[in-house]
Amino acid sequence: MSVGASPRSGGSPACGPGEPQAIVISSCPMCGSERSAVAFEESPYSVRRCSSCGLGWVTPRLGEDGLAEMYVDDSYWRSGSPKTLGYHDYRADEPLYLETFRRRLGFVLRHGPQGGRALDIGCAAGFCMQALRERGFEAHGVEVSETIARHASEHFGFATVHVGTLQSASFAERSFHLITLWDVVEHVVDPRALLVQARELLAPGGLLVLETQNIDSAFARLLGSRWHHYKHAEHIYHFTPSTISELLQSAGLEVQTSTPRFGGKYVSFQFIAERAARLHPALSTALAPLRRFESASVYLNFMDEMIVTASAPRTPSSPPAVATPQASSPPSAPA
Ligand SMILES: [Zn+2]
């Protein structure tokens, strides 16, 4: 994929003087096909599907700088309108994220590395890094938003978060045993380039784990345009099991597993009431009393998110740049 864009807090690509320019994407960003159809429109956006490979994409959208600007702003992490952009209060949901990542890592690492160096790309507040640390990994992170990355350093005591893009980090090639990307590839302008960079950072045979939403899932089809993953300003791509596999393979990675079975997450009743508003405003009103149970949570899996694991090639002629994975001592937890 080679094209790109980023809207602002309001969720619409800005077009005024001095504002980031919206970019219209007419041909398939993945396979280049000119044949596509509009799945649905929600002004000013259209969601298009490629008639050749099945990729979904949003047009128009902002460029790389405009997108980065959106995530840097704290209003993305504490959003007044989380059903269309960002999160209600990302930091406050720490217990839910920690439980979700513990559960997911428990599944995907059954046959994966049990320690060594791990990198979470798009690490946000460091929740996955913390779950990795609990499993004995030396956890590193990359995050474009300084405001949310500060939580990882100040709250969890991580000194291993690079604020900026992966490209701007100076990690050694083949230096990680595990790389994770949760809810990342659908946000970035050039996912293939990102995955190529990630592959270069993986030790031979190292494992990459990513999660993204499946536009062809039964739940997405059932809900149509009301599907809660349609957040047009930020979810600029929608993958299918085949397009995400092709993307990983084109980046030089070998797909191992792809399943929606472990793609569930712990959510609060607050979250359920918010997202229900996307289905029907009356549902949000009906479920409003649930908001009182702020501390309560439930594990939900609509089977509409894919967790895909892929490995870096083993090249016996090129010795690994890092030692055999070993459990490292976790740094002491902050007070
Ligand atoms: Zn295509």
Round to whole Å and give the CA distance between 304 and 302: 5
How far away, in angstroms, is 49 Cα from ligand 1 center?
Answer: 8
Residue 99 is predicted with a pLDDT of 93
Q: Residue 291: its pLDDT value, please?
A: 63
Taking 50 as the pLDDT cut, the residues of the chain under it are: 2-12, 14-18, 317-335
What whole-number distance in Å separates Cα of residue 58 and Cα of residue 162?
29
Q: Which two tokens stand for residue 255?
A: 């797909």
Residues with CB under 5 A from ligand 1 (ion): 28, 30-31, 33, 50, 52-53, 55
**Cα of 115 from ligand 1 centre, angstroms:** 37
Residue 325 has what pLDDT? 42
Distance of CA 35 to the CA centre of its chain: 27
The string of pLDDT tens digits covering residues 263-317 is: 999 988 777 777 776 667 776 676 666 666 666 788 999 999 999 999 999 975 4
Residues with Cβ < 8 Å from 62, sequence gap 6 or more? 5, 6, 7, 13, 14, 20, 21, 22, 23, 70, 233
Q: Domain residues of the chain, as ranges?
A: 75-264+301-311
CATH code: domain 75-264+301-311 is 3.40.50.150
pLDDT of residue 92: 85
- pLDDT of 293 reads 62
pLDDT of residue 333: 37
- 27 CA to centre of ligand 1 in angstroms: 8
Report the separation in Å between the CA atom of 151 and the middle of ligand 1, taken as the mean of its atom positions. 38
Provide the whole-model pTM: 0.85
Q: At what angle do helices 191-201 and 241-250 cross, to 10 degrees?
A: 50
pLDDT in the model for residue 6: 34
32: CA distance to ligand 1 center in Å?
Answer: 6
* Predicted local confidence at residue 334, as pLDDT: 36
pLDDT number for residue 294: 62
